[in-house]
Amino acid sequence: MSTGKTALITGITGQDGAYLSELLLSKGYTVHGIKRRSSSFNTSRIEHLYQDPHVEEPRFILHYGDMTDSTNLIRVVQETQPDEIYNLAAQSHVAVSFETPEYTANADAVGTLRLLEAIRLLKLGDRTRFYQASTSELYGLVQEVPQRETTPFYPRSPYAAAKLYAYWMVVNYREAYGVHASNGILFNHESPLRGETFVTRKITRAAAAIKLGLQDKLYLGNLDARRDWGHAREYVRGMWMMLQQDWADDYVLATGETTLVRDFVAKAFELVELPLEWRGSGVAETGVCARTGQTLVEVDPRYFRPTEVDLLIGDPSKARERLGWEHGTKWDALCAEMVREDLIAVAREQRCSAE
Ligand code: NDP
Ligand code: GDR
């Protein structure tokens, strides 16, 4: 059943785009999404939501576009006249941003400005509410723990610096032009849909592949980083809640618990019954299977970052008190869900390659 509300999601093919699409469709929204042209299939996360565009009044519609193309963004916003825009599109990989700093700034920083300008130019400021995918990476070098909305920012990567620009443009368009624009300062959130090069998914996929005999070893970078990991499905609900408020504002979404990368690794391998013992230290540290003595995890300095964010732990009190937002999934349950799904996925791939 349609509520008559229309949302436009940039980054609809990503992890959060897929969960947010499901949520908004379940609430009766018509959902428009911007996807990039790609030479390979990039819509696997939203395939189950796809609707034949020839059906009468489809409620899930994709448009080609790119955050680096302002004419495209203005046209899509004009055509769709959204009540809500969720700006999730980004070059979202912190390590990759050191390799592609200019592109990251173009897509993540100026891309956000382009969308805000589209709202202004098209005089949609009274109609269209705006959500910006801001990030705990803004906190960077630790200034205060736990990190909250008032904690000073200290970005430590081209990605974080680009997102800092976007953060302040959102605040500026709210204050200068009265746009209902909110920053969700989201701490790391994961799921079985997480991209395979982010550390949690890299770990759970490797644990499954090693268990099933498809991979020998997992190479990782900094095992001593600490992250506040929650479940993506719960975080997209918080995004929607922010846009249902009478007043736009900025909110931290986090669990309030932090975990070492090495503990996430140990949990994932324990779940596939390959319990690890850590031996050595620094770049020589290894994770050895306590049962077989086989080395399953090694440190590879190529995954170290020029500047690292050592500790993230968020305080979600404001979101809890003002939005009524709650998170439910703890990091170990999240890890278990991801391992379970990766065991199924890897086994399926194994069967396909054997056929
Ligand atoms: P993903 O990397 O899974 O998805 C990013 C999306 O952006 C994909 O749909 C991607 O398209 C699209 N995209 C990338 N570059 C462009 C571009 N130039 N033009 C148009 N689309 C583009 O990220 P998540 O879903 O995990 O995160 C969503 C947003 O939230 C991102 O902005 C991220 O920076 C931010 N964020 C994420 C957190 C997390 O822990 N997941 C925490 C805090 C913030 P394609 O599929 O074609 O690559
Ligand atoms: P992050 O997530 O940088 O926090 O950004 P990522 O999972 O990439 O890294 C988390 C921590 O793990 C360490 N690490 C490794 N990381 C990766 N990717 N690969 C490795 O092999 C590896 N080994 C150790 C990293 O050094 C880091 O400390 C994510 C993204 O989703 C951003 O878009 C988002 O803004 C932030 O979370 C909040």
Domain map of the chain by residue range?
A: 6-191+229-256, 199-225+260-308+329-354
**HSE (CB half, 13 Å, CA atoms) of 46?**
28
Q: Tokens 């200068």 correspond to what residue?
A: 176
Q: What is the mean pLDDT of residues 174-196?
A: 98
Query: Taking the mean position of all CA atoms in its chain, how far away is CA 332?
Result: 18
Question: Which band of pLDDT confidence, cut at 50, 70 and 90, is reported for residue 54?
Answer: confident
Say which ligand is closest to the CA of 160. 2
CB burial readout 220-248, b (16+ within 10 A) else e: bbbbebbbbbbbbbbbbbbbbbbbeeeeb
Enumerate residues 6+ apart whose C-beta is below 8 A from 233. Answer: 19, 191
Atom of ligand 1 nearest to the CA of 17: 25
Enumerate residues 6+ apart whose C-beta is below 8 A from 167. Answer: 132, 134, 138, 153, 183, 185, 250
Phi, psi of 124 (to 5 degrees): -100, 10
Reading the block at residue 88, the tokens are: 């999730």
The pLDDT score that the predictor gives to residue 53 is 76
The pLDDT score that the predictor gives to residue 194 is 98
Whole-angstrom Cα distance, residue 136 to residue 253? 9
The pLDDT score that the predictor gives to residue 351 is 87
Query: Annotated catalytic, 13?
Result: no
Closest by alpha carbon to 279, among 260, 300, 295, 259? Answer: 295
How many C-beta atoms surround the C-beta of residue 317 within 10 A? 14
Atom of ligand 2 nearest to the CA of 195: 31
Question: Which band of pLDDT confidence, cut at 50, 70 and 90, is reported for residue 90?
Answer: very high
**Secondary structure (3-state) at 67:** coil
Q: 6-191+229-256 and 199-225+260-308+329-354 share one CATH topology?
A: no
Q: Which helix (H) or strand (E) holds 279?
A: strand 276-279
216-231 pLDDT, tens per residue?
A: 999 999 999 999 999 9
Q: What is the mean pLDDT of residues 163-177?
A: 99
pLDDT greater than 70 at residue 1: no
**Secondary structure (3-state) at 3:** coil
Reading the block at residue 344, the tokens are: 């199924």
**Of 131, 159, 167, 173, catalytic:** 159
pLDDT greater than 90 at residue 3: no
61-87 pLDDT, tens per residue?
A: 999 999 999 999 999 999 999 999 999
Closest by alpha carbon to 190, among 229, 222, 137, 226? Answer: 229
How many C-beta atoms surround the C-beta of residue 183 within 10 A? 27
Q: Does domain 6-191+229-256 have CATH number 3.40.50.720?
A: yes
pLDDT greater than 90 at residue 52: no
Q: Largest Cα–Cα distance in the chain? A: 66
Q: What is the mean pLDDT of residues 323-337?
A: 97
The pLDDT score that the predictor gives to residue 331 is 98
- The ligand 1 site (C-beta within 6 Å) comprises 10-11, 13-17, 34, 36, 38, 42, 66-68, 88-92, 107, 133, 135, 186, 188-189, 195
Task: Return the higher-pLDDT residue of 174 and 53.
Answer: 174
The pLDDT score that the predictor gives to residue 2 is 66
Question: Which band of pLDDT confidence, cut at 50, 70 and 90, is reported for residue 56?
Answer: confident
Q: State the pTM of this model.
A: 0.98
Query: Annotated catalytic, 235?
Result: no
Question: Which band of pLDDT confidence, cut at 50, 70 and 90, is reported for residue 55?
Answer: confident
Q: Is the bond leading into 146 cis (omega within 30 degrees of zero)?
A: yes
Phi, psi of 220 (to 5 degrees): -130, 170
CATH topology of domain 199-225+260-308+329-354: UDP-galactose 4-epimerase; domain 1 (3.90.25)
- The ligand 2 site (C-beta within 6 Å) comprises 92, 94-95, 135-137, 187-188, 197-199, 202, 220-222, 225, 227, 261, 303, 305, 308
Reading the block at residue 233, the tokens are: 């499905």
